[in-house]
Amino acid sequence: MPEPGAGPQASKLRERALGLLARREHSRAELARKLEQAGFFATDIAPLLDGFEAKKWLSDQRFAESYVADHRARAGSVKLAYDLRQRGVSDTIIDAVLGENCNSELERAREVWKKKFGSPPGDAAETARHIRFMHSRGFTSDVIRRVIRQIDDESC
């Protein structure tokens, strides 16, 4: 294996990183992990990613906004926050991005519920199944209660 900072290796690292970023947004941690798995040295990766961030080619904020935009139709804020943390995004950025989307949480929960079930639960067991499904999608208990309660109100 070549020494860290070797010329040809550094250009391959830059090419690989730009190729990954050209396909989609990545968080810094996610991109660093992929580059390390490809066999590049962490000591070479960090300065490269610092440069990318300085040029605004890499941004955890932009990644989080893109990720939430792509996944919010199927997931609640709890799941989105978990997924972003798994990808190395800071809690500050997560709070800011999800805070922008909190107004639509109830509507998104209604749409997810409607797509899956379409009709109100018939008994307590079915209600529990609906609630478990909504929890698995990352919606909070409060939002789930409001969705189920509104469904009950509409059926009266």
Domain count, the chain: 3
How far is CA 32 from its chain centroid? 17
- Give the CA dihedral 105, 28, 62, 75, nearest 10 degrees: -20
**What are the structure tokens assigned to 19, written together?**
């190729």
- Phi and psi angles of residue 90, each rounded to the nearest 5 degrees, phi first: -70, 155
138 lies in some domain: yes
- Does any domain span residue 2? no
Please give the average per-residue pLDDT across 125-143, as a whole number: 92
Q: Provide the pLDDT for residue 24.
A: 94
In this structure, the answer to whether residues 89 and 116 fall within a common structural domain is: no
Q: Is residue 137 situated within a structural domain?
A: yes
Q: For 67-125, write each residue's pLDDT tens digit.
A: 999 998 888 999 999 999 999 999 999 999 988 766 688 888 988 998 999 888 888 99
**Residue 18: which domain range?**
7-58
